[in-house]
Structure 1
Amino acid sequence: MIDKLEMFIALANEGHFGRAAEVCGVTQPTLSSAIKQLEDHLGVQLVYRGSRFQGLTPEGQRVLDRARRIVGDARALREEMRSVRSGLAGNLRIGVIPTALSMVADLTTPFTKRHPNVRVTILSRTSAEILTGIERLDLDAGITYLDNEPLGRVTQVPLYSEFYRLLCAPGSELAGRDRVTWAELAGLPLCLLTSDMQNRRIVNLHLAEAGVMAAPSIESNSTITLLTHVMSGNWASVLPKKLADLFAQSGQLRAIPIVAPEAEHLVGLIAAHRDPPTPLIAALIDSARRMGGRKV
């Protein structure tokens, strides 16, 4: 039954029989047969069918919610029994917002030293994608903002407080300043993260509070792309302190504190709420608590 529920979850996630079969490592007829057997067992139609997948029925949506909990519990049980037999091992999939990628090693380095048989996969994701990935069981945990937008029912562990810097080339208009205000960013040629990134929504908020409309001439979902544009000398950007300081440490760029206000937002670890958590997540939460409380 668990394998059929996993195939049903994959179908709901992918919205396509062929892709779902590929995810599950089975043929498409095998997956279709498993879904039909699940429907027969439950006595309801789960999927609207035509020449292709046409969505879940209302009953299918209710079963999906329960299936995710059942499969999650089954995976947790397998993981717990494996840890009893051979110690903590397995693969952790962590989604990380792009602006926190420069900090993630502060969590994963001590974690993997304590648990050398655990393999960690780090994936760059937006805050919305992290929540969706945890719900869909595609991610085990995430590192995202805790205090800016609703997170729902997840376990949260604060990691650090994020502050903001103007990143610019040495010859830029404000490069000689020790600090700048949000209002003084008006009129600067900015390159910023795209609006699907929560960092960009935070930047927009603080600019708007200072009476400045964010109108960047360059947008990207890649911080490296922002860096290369700033290095050209034609643009400036707004980035978290840790990331901006990393880019500026060579002396080729300036990272200037932004004040009035000196905005602060909390970044932390999130995971699906389970009581108790799986052994892997429990160990990760322990590492996160050891790291927590920093200001960077």
Structure 2
Amino acid sequence: MQFRYLRYFVTLAQTRHFARAASACGVSQPTLSAGLNALEQELGKRLVERDRRFIGLTGHGEAILPWAQQIVGALASMNQTISVTSAHLEGEVTLAAIPAALPYVGILGDALLRRFPGVSLTVQSGTSREIERRLRAFEVDAGLTYLDHEPLTNMLSIPLYGERFVFVARRSEALDGRNSISWQEAARYPLCLLHQGMQFRRILDARLSHLGLMAAPRANADSNVSLLALVKEASFATIVPDGYANLLSGLDWAVFLPFEEPDDLQRVGVVVVDREPLSPLVSAILTVAKSLAAPE
């Protein structure tokens, strides 16, 4: 069985588009189609439903996809190991981060690139559930996500920092000189929040419920940048991780207030799938994460 045919198949399952899969594999679309046909003939089963375009995987295709992903991922890791010398590591580390953790990417990325000059970094944003899927499908090397709320199974994790909630609103006479705000007062503002598919929102909802409150946002988004734009232009208020307060301190139009009743710290850290052996690139990001790890 030709390895490149499995790579074509895995890439097509990921992109769900023949032209994009061919481009990602560095081949023409007819070459990719021919490779898929050869793989189907060798296995004696149809793997892909298609009619001039990608429709989906057949039942047989879905069944073999996890095995194909493991084979492709293992060979990629083997190639990394072959290329590594004791003094030099090269390759691309792909990190998927929840939106709440994006302000920390600069710290982690800087430490990684300084420690391993031959390494490049690609950062993707996604929900905690998307990150879990990408990790198990060998689509990313590591994730940056919550460790305690809805913890992922069969993962190695390294805690990096603790997160708290911060209230954000436009500057006003009512908020001038304030050093904090109560949850009850914050809940009365017209809020825009991350949607409930985001783990940060689910943690926030649990905190509000514990206090006998409920969020009723007039706007939802999947990006903290979108929320901050709504606060600036539409007179909303929002609640974000304190990392954004540190990242955006100094904005002349915004006020960031901690809550009078502080919540428990939510630990955020690096996670990788617990599989042996670890690839050199995965080992590299774990090494860097350990050097930055928060004390227990």
Q: TM-score, normalised by structure 2?
A: 0.89
What is the match of residue 100 of structure 2?
99
Query: CA 1:186 to 1:197, structure 2 compared with 1: closer, same or farther past 3 Å?
Result: same
Q: Is residue 165–residue 257 contact of structure 1 (8 Å, CA) maintained in 2?
A: yes
Could you list the per-position Cα deviations for residues 241-264 of structure 1 after superposition, in whole angstroms to 9, with x for gaps in the alignment?
121233233564332222545232
Unmatched segments (≥5 aa) in structure 2: none
Q: 1: distance between equivalents of 2:143 and 2:174? A: 38
1:286 is displaced (CA, Å) by 1.0
Could you list the per-position Cα deviations for residues 218-237 of structure 1 after superposition, in whole angstroms to 9, with x for gaps in the alignment?
33333233223334582221
Q: 1: distance between equivalents of 2:174 and 2:206? A: 23
- Is the partner of 1:188 in helix, strand or coil? coil
Matches within 5 A, 1:1-296: 1-84=2-85, 87-171=88-172, 173=174, 176-232=177-233, 234-250=235-251, 252-260=253-261, 262-293=263-294
Query: CA 1:35 to 1:248, structure 2 compared with 1: closer, same or farther past 3 Å?
Result: same
Query: CA 1:7 to 1:255, structure 2 compared with 1: closer, same or farther past 3 Å?
Result: same
Could you list the per-position Cα deviations for residues 30-51 of structure 1 after superposition, in whole angstroms to 9, with x for gaps in the alignment?
1121112112222333223445
Greater shift, 284-293 or 14-23, is seen at 14-23
Q: 2: distance between equivalents of 1:94 and 1:158? A: 15
Could you list the per-position Cα deviations for residues 42-96 of structure 1 after superposition, in whole angstroms to 9, with x for gaps in the alignment?
2333223445433323322221111111111100000011013872011111112
Q: Is residue 145–residue 265 contact of structure 1 (8 Å, CA) maintained in 2?
A: yes
Counterpart residue type for residue 154 of structure 2 = R
Could you list the per-position Cα deviations for residues 249-283 of structure 1 after superposition, in whole angstroms to 9, with x for gaps in the alignment?
35643322225452321111122332121111101
- Is the partner of 2:166 in helix, strand or coil? strand
Unmatched segments (≥5 aa) in structure 1: none
* Pairwise CA RMSD: 2.4
Q: Is residue 185–residue 212 contact of structure 1 (8 Å, CA) maintained in 2?
A: no
Q: 1: distance between equivalents of 2:159 and 2:173? A: 35
Q: Is residue 94–residue 121 contact of structure 2 (8 Å, CA) maintained in 1?
A: yes
Q: Is residue 193–residue 217 contact of structure 2 (8 Å, CA) maintained in 1?
A: yes
Q: How many residues get paired?
A: 295
- Is the partner of 1:248 in helix, strand or coil? coil
Greater shift, 104-113 or 286-295, is seen at 286-295
Q: Is residue 5–residue 36 contact of structure 2 (8 Å, CA) maintained in 1?
A: yes
Query: CA 1:11 to 1:202, structure 2 compared with 1: closer, same or farther past 3 Å?
Result: same
Q: Is residue 171–residue 233 contact of structure 1 (8 Å, CA) maintained in 2?
A: no
Greater shift, 285-294 or 254-263, is seen at 254-263
Q: Is residue 161–residue 294 contact of structure 1 (8 Å, CA) maintained in 2?
A: no
Q: Is residue 183–residue 211 contact of structure 1 (8 Å, CA) maintained in 2?
A: no
Q: 1: distance between equivalents of 2:171 and 2:281? A: 46
Q: TM-score, normalised by structure 1?
A: 0.89
- Is the partner of 1:263 in helix, strand or coil? coil
Counterpart residue type for residue 122 of structure 2 = T
Q: Is residue 168–residue 255 contact of structure 1 (8 Å, CA) maintained in 2?
A: yes
Q: 2: distance between equivalents of 1:203 and 1:175? A: 25
Greater shift, 239-248 or 275-284, is seen at 239-248
1:167 is displaced (CA, Å) by 1.7
